[in-house]
Structure 1
Amino acid sequence: MSLVPRDSWFDFSQMFDHAFPTLRHRLDADVYSPRINIVEKDKVFEITADLPGVNKNDISVQLSNGSLTIEAVTKKDEQEEKEGKVIRKERYEGRLMRSFYLGHNIQQEDVHARFDDGVLTIEVPKVEGSSPTSTNVEIK
């Protein structure tokens, strides 16, 4: 599996999260990356994504050529603005997206996903690969 860890120094947006947390929504207002965990088990990859406040019908999961993409949309709460003055608003509203490469040793047809209490869990079965073999090459 070829993944760059979320906490690597290459993660530019995370640097801004920690240094300037109040600027986050202004810098990338179009798309927000949900937090995920990826666990490699014997026969499956288990991916969990935090999607609080998202409706199950507003989530899309696509797997194509070894790349998994999770997309979701949260909707504005218009009720809040009608009933009173908003003093502080930190909850994200808009499009969420996360994409990463799992490799080609997966079974795309048998992927299963469930959504419970704001957590999306995706199980991607791995293909039984042949164990690496070595061959001596005769030099002529």
Structure 2
Amino acid sequence: MSLIPRDSWFDFNQFFENAFPALRQSFDIDTFSPRIDIIEKPNSYEITADLPGVKKEDISVQIHNGNLLIEASTSKSEEQKEGDRVIRKERYEGKLMRSFYLGHNLKQDDIEASFTDGVLKVEVPKVEPTAPASKSIEIK
């Protein structure tokens, strides 16, 4: 059996993981950015995030001043038995975080989120932007 990984070198994060495997541990990096899709629809933004291995209760979605923050955490599995030796560990364990600026034309009270099969979907309704009021200035 071959234990040589066959990874895609097109993934920038994976490139550094493969090229410098000890780099992550030496800098004690404990956050990871999940894969996100953002789709702007006529009346809303739809954000889809892949959060494999994360429990629903470990996810936090917040909006503040037009910034959407998605945070999640996974716990480390300590199932290794005495005498076992880890050959390769690729599954991420730790904190996941992404933040996006969506603007101020949002209906914050109507934001909905759902989590199914490791995929988080957030629907952020938009409001019509208010046009700046025009005013005539009297010249003195």
Q: Same fold by TM-score, threshold 0.5 exceeded?
A: yes
Deviation at 1:77, TM superposition (A): 1.1
Residues 39 and 94 from structure 1, CA distance in 2 versus in 1: closer, same or farther, beyond 3 angstroms? same
SS in 1 for 2:81: helix
Of Structure 1 and Structure 2, the greater helix share is in 1
The structure with the largest alpha-carbon Rg is 2
Which residue matches 1:93? 93
Q: Which runs of 5+ in 2 are unaligned?
A: 1-10
Which residue matches 1:112? 112
TM-score (norm 2): 0.76
Say if 2:25 is the partner of 1:47.
Answer: no
SS in 2 for 1:82: coil
Q: Which runs of 5+ in 1 are unaligned?
A: 1-13
Residues 28 and 108 from structure 1, CA distance in 2 versus in 1: closer, same or farther, beyond 3 angstroms? farther
Q: Which amino acid aligns with 1:30?
A: D
Say if 2:75 is the partner of 1:75.
Answer: yes
Out of 12, 16, 20, the residue aligned to residue 16 of structure 2 is 20
Give the Cα–Cα distance (whole angstroms) in 1 for the partners of residues 125 and 33 of structure 2.
24
SS in 1 for 2:93: coil
TM-score (norm 1): 0.76
Deviation at 1:19, TM superposition (A): 3.9
Residues 127 and 28 from structure 1, CA distance in 2 versus in 1: closer, same or farther, beyond 3 angstroms? farther
How many pairs were matched up?
124
Give the Cα–Cα distance (whole angstroms) in 1 for the partners of residues 40 and 120 of structure 2.
16
SS in 2 for 1:47: strand
Which residue matches 1:30? 30
SS in 1 for 2:57: helix
